[in-house]
């Protein structure tokens, strides 16, 4: 499916313009969309930004738990303001040029399926909510599986932000050439994105309840590597599928740990693709 790159996308230009008109930082929004790998048409991103606001306000994104992270963490406070403004104005924004699908929802179906769910796997996983949570963040009275699922999404976002910051650049994201989009950061994200989306279902509650309740993302990644999961509460068919999803999550976070230690994953998985991306540099907020 062919889309214009973000630099030429009416949806991106429209949202960036609206944020600027509201007196918020346009470059901070652009950096956030780069690190998220936001869809070029921002399909269903109203809920993604709303969920992002909830995640960014948690301890997972508190500076005390981000000592491992790059300079992108300095923009979190601006991202919170931007996401809050988008959350408040999502209906009005969906009336702007190019943002007709910004607040898209489909009964019983993820709105990005068939519209870039593989390529934008982490943003698609951020759209999802645990079945027990009507709103984000989960209420304190929510069941453990809901809280653990929300935390898993937070860690997925933090690892992805760091990896894209290390392995790509804002310029490359905004001007990518169709299929030559990189980085593979820290690994191909479709398997982990699919896993996170599917584990929101009620039948996996006992599984999600076993995940580490660790706040620091670097420590969560280490805990996932050592996690022994019990699948006995699931049917044989569901247990087999669940094992595949947990292994995809485990592999993703294991590779992220290697990225923190200096590993640079190959940025080519098909003939004709170029090499690794350059280092990312977030501009200072002016």
Express each pLDDT in 143-162 by its tens digit: 889 999 999 999 999 999 99
Bridge partners of residue 109, in order along the sequence = 106
pLDDT confidence of residue 284: 31
- The pLDDT tens digits of the residues spanning 73-92 come to 999 999 999 999 999 999 99
Percentage of the chain with pLDDT > 70? 90
Residue 276 lies in a domain: no
pLDDT mean across residues, the chain: 90
- The pLDDT tens digits of the residues spanning 236-267 come to 999 999 999 999 999 999 999 999 999 998 87
Of 183 and 129, the one with more pLDDT: 129
C-alpha pair distances (Å), 80 with each of 24, 50, 57, 73, 75: 11, 10, 7, 12, 9
- Spatial contact of 55 and 157, defined as CB atoms under 8 Å apart: yes
pLDDT confidence of residue 179: 59
Residue 106 lies in a domain: yes
For residue 131, what are the domain limits?
10-260
d(CA 154, CA 119): 19
DSSP 103: T
- Spatial contact of 248 and 194, defined as CB atoms under 8 Å apart: yes
Residue 75 lies in a domain: yes
- The count of domains in the chain is 1
Residue 273 lies in a domain: no
Range among 1-15, 25-39, 178-192 rated most confident: 25-39
- The pLDDT tens digits of the residues spanning 1-24 come to 677 899 999 999 999 999 999 999
d(CA 85, CA 141): 27
Residue 143 lies in a domain: yes
Positive/negative CA dihedral, 90, 168, 122, 282: negative
Residue 30 lies in a domain: yes
- Evaluate if residue 100 carries a pLDDT over 90: yes
8 Cβ neighbours under 8 A, 6+ residues apart: none
Nearest to 59 by CA among 158, 175, 203: 158
Residue 274 lies in a domain: no
Positive/negative CA dihedral, 220, 226, 232, 234: positive
pLDDT confidence of residue 178: 61
Within 13 Å and on the Cβ side, how many CA atoms surround 231? 13
Residue 283 lies in a domain: no
């Amino acid at each position: 499916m062919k889309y214009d790159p973000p630099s030429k996308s009416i949806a991106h230009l429209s949202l960036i313009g609206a944020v600027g008109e509201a007196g918020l930082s346009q470059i901070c929004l652009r950096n956030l969309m780069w690190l998220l790998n936001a869809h070029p048409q921002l399909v269903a991103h109203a809920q993604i930004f709303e969920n992002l606001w909830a995640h960014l306000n948690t301890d997972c994104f508190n500076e005390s738990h981000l000592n491992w992270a790059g300079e992108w963490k300095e923009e979190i406070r601006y991202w919170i303001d931007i996401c809050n403004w988008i959350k408040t104005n999502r209906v009005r924004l969906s009336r702007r040029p190019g943002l007709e699908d910004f607040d898209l929802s489909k009964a019983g179906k993820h709105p990005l399926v068939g519209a870039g769910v593989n390529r934008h796997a982490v943003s698609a996983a951020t759209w999802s909510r645990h079945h027990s949570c009507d709103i984000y963040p989960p209420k304190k009275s929510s069941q453990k599986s809901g809280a653990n699922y929300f935390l898993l999404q937070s860690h997925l976002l933090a690892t992805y932000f760091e990896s894209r910051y290390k392995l790509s650049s804002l310029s490359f994201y905004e001007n990518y050439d169709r299929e030559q989009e990189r980085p593979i950061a820290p690994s191909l994200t479709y398997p982990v994105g699919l896993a996170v989306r599917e584990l929101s279902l009620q039948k996996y509650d006992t599984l999600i309840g076993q995940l580490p309740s660790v706040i620091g993302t670097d420590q969560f990644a280490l805990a996932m590597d050592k996690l022994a999961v019990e699948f006995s509460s699931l049917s044989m068919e569901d247990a087999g599928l669940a094992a595949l999803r947990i292994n995809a999550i485990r592999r993703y976070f294991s590779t992220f740990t290697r990225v923190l230690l200096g590993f640079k994953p190959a940025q080519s998985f098909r003939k004709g693709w170029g090499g690794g991306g350059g280092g990312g540099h977030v501009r200072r907020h002016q």
